[in-house]
Amino acid sequence: MRFASQLAAEKTGISEDEAFLIDEAGSSVFNKIGEKSLKNLSTNFYSRVYSDSEEWFRSIFEGIPMQSAIQNQYEFFIQRFGGPPVYSQRRGHPALIGRHMPFAVSEKAAERWLHHMSEALTTTPGIDADSAKAIYNYLQHTAWFIHFGTEHVKEMKRREQEGNDS
């Protein structure tokens, strides 16, 4: 899905290198802000998502208990931002595109998701400005990577189905 990553970089104006500065040794976000701040970030974020004023956006998360969404996200964040592999131990490989296939990850949804994450990052105690910027750059890239990747997979499946119907 290299192309999805390239499209995400073009969409955000953030190069892949800049988006993945979060991986640089010695600058572990997890070590800087800790597990509690990541849990609080996810709780803050999903409180916003589940109370969003737009029904179409809330409906994306329908059927997923908020506490499950929070746990999945903070465990992914802990692992992705330099902590222990708690997400993979419980759920397996993150496989971001595959795990998001059931959801309507439209451009509008990606933008709304990023809006809530930006708000959560600026209002969650314990997250310094440098860590918030690194997290947001990574998540901007990732949100668009997921959008372009899921759209591509859906298009490929549609074409395959059309070929089978012929």
pLDDT band at residue 118 under the 50/70/90 scheme: very high
Tokens encoding 28: 């572990």
Burial class (CB in 10 A: 0-12, 13-18, 19+), 164: exposed
Q: Is the pTM of this model over 0.85?
A: yes
Q: What is residue 51's predicted lDDT score, i.e. its pLDDT?
A: 98
**SS3 label, residue 89:** helix
Does residue 121 carry a pLDDT above 80? yes
Alpha carbon distance 40, 119 (integer Å):
13
